[in-house]
Structure formats: structure tokens, C-alpha cells
Amino acid sequence: MSESNPAKRTQVLILDGGLGTTLEDVFHQDISHALWSAKPIDEDPEVIISAHLAFLRAGADVILTSSYQCAYTTFERAGYTRDDARRIMLKSVQLAQEARRRFREETLATPRDVKIALSLGPYGAMLYPAQEFDGFYPPPYGPVLSPSQKKTNAFEDTPEGTAQEQAAIDELAAFHYERLCTFADDAGTWDVVDFVAFETVPLRREIYAIRKAVACFGGERMKPWWISTDYPGGRFPETKANGEHLTATDAASAALLDGEETAAWGFGINCTGLEFLPALLEEARAVAKKHLEKHGKRLWLVLYPNRGDVYDPVTQSWRESSGQGQKWAVGFGTVVLDAIAHGDWEGVIAGGCCKTGPDEIVALAKEIRT
């Protein structure tokens, strides 16, 4: 392969694994709470630092803050005041910063540049039960349904439905803008953040809303940011009025091509089974190539699939897969190296989501870096 090949120039960073499930599996925390991994921020901050450190020692270059489920509505439902909610949200970044500081002290002889990504879940993560995988949002964020109607996340294909969808985009944009400003308005916190990750977004209208929120926020203030989408069972959760699912092409186009707002810095897939990635990436790569042709700029790809375990919401337990550790890393490493070889991305950030712990990240780092 020649030096002129763009794949030779592709940057690769290792992301951490599933923070919430690692707190549960490795550090024996009870995260069956509306705040999920945000609960220990205030109650047991050292365990959050320890979890971050475990991933850094495993080889992660980027750690996600424990703020995925942090929003004023979530804290209010859990009995916190607005002032306490803001304090805890900002503290999630401070804990990641402290973990980075301690890691740097440990590795003075062989320093590694560690980045902090601000984790911001979708509006659906603030609901109970959570709606990252179905996208059934209540009005005004989703369609008004009568008790007799089947659940759907699609607005009707009528002028009224189109108007309701635009109103939902506006409301979702306001939600994401308020939360983004909470972190950015504190200079000490915002200076620590290297990336902003809008994660597990199940709806195209929410992708549009995030881009609108970022545009209102101001490009000159914004850090490099990505929108990460999820595909339970290999399908994007949003459907059309006829019940047909939108595709990864639709989701990537919403993040990178459609509309006038600034496109996301990167496009991601998270909380998705590893076996679905190759087909989904083919669609995303085609959109990235169109963006390159239109804007002359390559984008980043962010991949953090699940380990393969299946969650049972009835028993609130996980059915373990056979794909832990080295097996998961080998399979995922092949996907990452293939994405790099195509040369269509400026860089790739690769890590894990639910049930991937430090062991999986150790193995992944070896697969990608050797």
C-alpha cells in the first residue's frame, strides 16, 4: 500500500467500554435507577473515577463522562432540585478530569494523550421506561396517539403530521440546547471537554434537532462532535407512516448531508450488535463519500457496539453471550481495520457499549494497534 493511500493517514483512537454496565459488573454498583450511571456521581464519586481509570489502563484514548442520562427532567423525577442537577452534571466532567489527571501521574514515563467526551443521551434516555431502542416519544416530541392506537414513532404523512413533526424537532432542539449550554456556560467545565457525543439517537427528527441545537449554540464555541445512532436487531428504530423502517443511509444523511445546518463532525453507531455493523457501515460510508465530494472534507467514524449480551426488560437481567473478551475484539477489530482500509474517514474512534468492560478494551487495543 503506497504512502499516498488515504488509509495510511487515517487516525485511530480507542474509546472506553460500557461505563454503566462496568459499574454494575466490575464495581458491583446498583444502577437500576432513573439516573443509571449518573447516580454514583454524587453518592460515590470515587467509583466513577475508578471505572474511568480501569478503561484508561486498558488502553482507552477517549473516556465518556457519566452524564448520559443527565438532564433536568431526569433529576427532577429522581427528587433533585435544579441547582443540584446542574452541580451533578458538571461534576461528571470533573470526575473524568480527575481520572485523567491520576492516569497521567501513573504514566509519566510513557505519557498518552487522553481525551474526554461529554456523553449526552437522547431524549428517550430520560423517559421511563427508556426509549432509545423504540423511539416512542410522548407529545410534543412524538405523535399524539389514542389509547386504542398501536404504538408508533411516526407522524402521519399529511400536512398536519408534517407540521407536528417540525414542532417536535423544535422541542427536541430546545431540550438538547439547554443541556449543552449547562456544560458550556461553565468555563472550567467546558475547557476540559474535548469531544461532545450525542449518543444512541433513535429518530431522524432528533438528529435534525441536535444539528439545530448545535447551530443555535454557535459553531465557534462547539467542540468536535458526533451523533451516534443505534440499530436494535440491525434496524434503525424510526419508521415511516406505512411502518417501513428508515435506514442507516437515512440516519447518516440526516447527520451529514441534509439541511443547511453544520453537519456533525463524525457519525457513529453504538449500542448495536457487532454482526450488523458491516452492512450498516456500507450505507454510512456511501453517505460519507457524498459529503467528501460536496464539501471536500473527510469525517470521523465512531463505532462502539455491544458485546452481544441480550437484556430482558421483564427480569431486568442480561443473558450472556459467548462473545466476550478476545472473541469480541477479533471480530470487531476486523470491522475497524476494514473501515480504515477504505480510506473514506478522517479517523476512527472504536470502543464498546453495553457489557463491554476493560477486558474487551484491552483485547481490542491489541487487535487494532498490532
Domain residue extents for the chain = 6-369
Determine whether 319 is exposed, middle or buried from the number of CB atoms within 10 Å of its CB (0-12, 13-18, 19+): exposed
Euclidean distance between CA atoms 7 and 299, whole angstroms: 13
Query: 3-class SS at 341?
Result: helix
User: Which residues, including other chains, have CB under 8 Å from residue 358's CB and lie 6 or more apart?
Assistant: 17, 22, 26, 54, 55, 57, 58
Question: Rounded to the nearest 5°, which phi and psi values hold at 27?
Answer: -105, 5
Higher pLDDT, 114 or 20: 114
Contacts of 20 (CB under 8 A, 6+ apart): 31, 36, 37, 66, 68, 354
Q: How far apart are CA 132 and CA 127, in angstroms?
A: 9
pLDDT of residue 310: 64
197 forms beta bridges with: 119, 226
| Whole-angstrom distance, CA of residue 277 vs CA of residue 251 | 14
SS3 166: helix
Within its chain, how far is the Cα of 11 from the centroid?
19
DSSP letter at 150 equals P
Q: How confident is the model over 282-304, as a mean pLDDT?
A: 96
- Residue matched to cell numbers 429522581: 78
What digits encode the pLDDT tens for the residues 22-59? 888 787 777 666 777 778 899 899 999 999 999 999 99
* Amino acid (one-letter) located at 358: P
Contact 251, 204 (CB under 8 A): yes
Q: Which amino acid is at 329?
A: A
Q: In 10 A of CB 2, how many CB atoms?
A: 5
- The mean per-residue pLDDT over the stretch 102-119 comes to 92
Query: Percentages helix, strand, coil for the chain, rounded to the nearest 5?
Result: 50, 15, 40
**Peptide bond just before 358 cis, omega within 30 deg:** no
| 3-state DSSP assignment of residue 347 | strand
Tell me the pLDDT band of 148, cut-offs 50, 70 and 90. Answer: confident
pLDDT of residue 199: 98
Q: Give the DSSP letter of residue 245.
A: B
Average model confidence (pLDDT) for the chain?
91
pLDDT band, residue 6 (cuts 50/70/90): very low
Q: What is the mean pLDDT of residues 90-97?
A: 97
Over range 211-230, report the average pLDDT.
95
Q: If we measure between CA atoms, which residue out of 189, 196, 182 comes closest to residue 225?
A: 196
The CATH number of the structural domain formed by 6-369 is 3.20.20.330
Residues 7, 343: Cα–Cα separation, whole Å? 4
Q: β-pairing, 11-14 with 62-64?
A: unpaired
